[in-house]
Amino acid sequence: MIDINIKGVLYGIAAALPVFRRQGFGHFVNIASIAGHFVRPNTSVYSSTKFAVRAIFEGLRQEAGDKLRVTIISPGFVRTNFAEGVTSPEVKAQLVESRDKFAMPPEAIARAIVFAIKQPANVDVNEIIVRPTAHS
């Protein structure tokens, strides 16, 4: 999780920032999670990586200057195949049940990203939290 969720973000910034600076504009969009806003049992490492992503992007936003935009999308439960990688049968069953009961379609997150990037160049949507209406 640390390699992908934190280092992956840093590597992406390192690759794109010089290009954005050269061309004089750019828009970083990253997917965090509502888990980066609170911690629940059995999610502390995942939540800590998403808290880190929010901190990194907030720092980037403050340091990027007025030509670069920085947006974090923090989804709630999205209908994905995430549960397939869970090794605990009990946790996996619970995730599948919750997913099937109230998870959002991935298109909801795509629409949030489109909203952020379609804003005028002088408007920076810093963070969007998107949750299913049934999510507590």
Residues assigned a catalytic role: 46
Single out the residue of 59, 53, 95 nearest to residue 74, CA to CA: 53
3-state secondary structure of 46: helix
Q: What is the dihedral of CA 58, 61, 63, 68, to 10 degrees?
A: 160
Strand partners, 127: 72
Single out the residue of 19, 31, 20 nearest to residue 56, CA to CA: 31
Q: How far apart are CA 29 and CA 32, in angstroms?
A: 10
Whether 20 contacts 6, CB under 8 Å: no
Strand partners, 28: 70
